[in-house]
Amino acid sequence: MSSDIKKGTTQIVKQSTKALATKGPKAAAKVCAAINPMEVIRDVVKAYGDWKKVKYENEVKRSKIKSWEKVSLEKIRVQRDIFMTYLDLSFDERRGNFKSYFKVLDRAVKKQEIQIVTETLSAIVKLAESNPFKDLSSVTNFRKTLKDRNQGIDI
């Protein structure tokens, strides 16, 4: 709409300038008299209304984006907290297992029980070689687990 107003205004200015230059002030006045003030006001009001509508739509879009941002950030925080809890518990369990194995090993060494020492050392090596993330086979599976509200996470 505003481009139509601009084109019309430009055309009137050109016509009045040409009339002023070639035919004098009376001809320029006739060109300007051809302008309908009510139509100009109507066009300005319509352009203003269009602008207000676009402005409102953009404000609504910004509001939706802000809401989406807040929800997304909260989801990320929750997923991070779940993952950090998993890591804490997973490593706590490993630490506890190592402590238990070393207690058994100490007792077996004191009592000179070679079979128990061998089995305990084997279990310690096996635990040390195991990956604490094996249950999270991939980040994709972990994300799917987090998104599935019906599935719990075993920690």
What's the structural domain count of the chain? 1
In Å, how far are 33, 94, 102, 112 from 117, measured between CA atoms? Answer: 111, 19, 10, 8
- pLDDT tens digit sequence for 116-155: 989 988 998 888 888 766 655 555 666 666 666 565 555 5
pLDDT cut 90: percent of the chain above it: 24
Sign of CA dihedral 106, 108, 114, 120: negative
Rounded to whole angstroms, the Cα distance separating 153 from 155 reads 6
State mean pLDDT over 62-73. 93
Residue 27 in domain: no
Range of the domain at 143: 36-147
Residue 54 in domain: yes
Residue 4 in domain: no
State mean pLDDT over 61-72. 94
Residue 26 in domain: no
Predicted TM-score (pTM) of the model is: 0.46
